[in-house]
Chains A and B, each alone.
Chain A
Amino acid sequence: EIVLTQSPGTLSLSPGESATLSCRATQTVTNTYLAWYQQKPGRAPRLLIFGASRRATGIPDRFSGSGSGTGFTLTISRLEPEDFAMYYCQQYGDLPGAFGQGTNVEIK
C-alpha cells in the first residue's frame, strides 16, 4: 500500500507570493497517476491537477504540477486570495487509492 506524505503541514504566505507544496510516496506512483485537489472549509475537494502535471478543466495556469516516481510538487505562482485553502495529493495508480494528509496554505 502506497503512503503519501505532504509537506509542509502549513504554509504561511502573502497574496502575490508563490507556494511550493511537496508530496512524497513510499513507492513509485504508477504511470505518474498523481492528482492534486484544493479544498475549502465545508466544501468538497476540487480537482486541480491530474497525471502529475495536467491541469483540470477551468484551472488557472498559476497552478502547475511536476514530478515523477516518488516525488511530486504543486506550485501556485502569484497567490490570489481565493487560493488560501487545504491541498491534498492523491495517487490513483494502485489500489487502495491514497490521499496525503494535506497542506494548509494560510494567509500570513
Chain B
Amino acid sequence: QGQLVQSGPEVQKPGASLKVSCKASGFTFRNYYINWVRQAPGQGLEWVGWITPYNGNRNYAPKFQGRVTLTTDTSTSTAYMELKRLKSDDTAVYYCARPMNYGEPSDAFDIWGQGTMVSVSS
C-alpha cells in the first residue's frame, strides 16, 4: 500500500537551517508527487509545496518561496525539505504526504509520513 517514514525531531536556533527527510516504500517513488504540509502547535494544516521525483519540478506556497527547497533522491526513494533562515514561528510538525493518483501534483493525500517535530528557539 505504501509508506512514508520521516527523520527524527529537530531543535534549531533562529537563523539556522534544517533538512527533513521522507523515505518512501511500497510504491513507485518516481511516479508520485511528494507534498509537504506543516502544522504549528494547536493549529491547522498548511501546505508548503510539492515536488516530482520524475524530473524535479517543484512548486512552493508563496509564503515559503525563497526559504524552502524541496529535493528528491530517486536512488534511495527519499524526498527532502530544507528550510532556511528559521524563525520561531516555523516551530511545527512537518509532514510529507503522497497524492492518491500518480502524476497528480495536487490531489487528496492518502499516505502521510509520521511527521517530524521541528522546534526553533534561542
> Using a CB–CB distance below 8 Å, which chain A residues touch chain B?
33, 35, 37, 44-47, 50-51, 56-57, 88, 90, 92-102
Residue B100 at the A interface, CB < 8 A? yes
Interface string of B92-122 (1 = CB under 8 A from A): 0001010110000011111011110000000
Residues of A contacting B108 in the complex (Cβ-Cβ under 8 angstroms) = 33, 35, 47, 50-51, 56, 90, 92
Residues of B contacting A90 in the complex (Cβ-Cβ under 8 angstroms) = 45, 108-109
Report the separation of the CA atoms of residues A45 and B113 in the bound assembly, to the nearest whole angstrom.
Answer: 10
Partner of A50, one of B35, B44, B47, B100: B100
Interface residues of B in 49-90 (CB under 8 A from A): 59, 61-62
Q: Shortest Cβ distance from B5 into chain A, in angstroms?
A: 12
Report the separation of the CA atoms of residues A26 and B74 in the bound assembly, to the nearest whole angstrom.
Answer: 38
Known contacts A44-B115, A95-B59: does B44 contact A100 (CB below 8 Å)? yes
Residues of A contacting B115 in the complex (Cβ-Cβ under 8 angstroms) = 44
Residue B46 at the A interface, CB < 8 A? yes
Q: Shortest Cβ distance from A50 into chain B, in angstroms?
A: 4
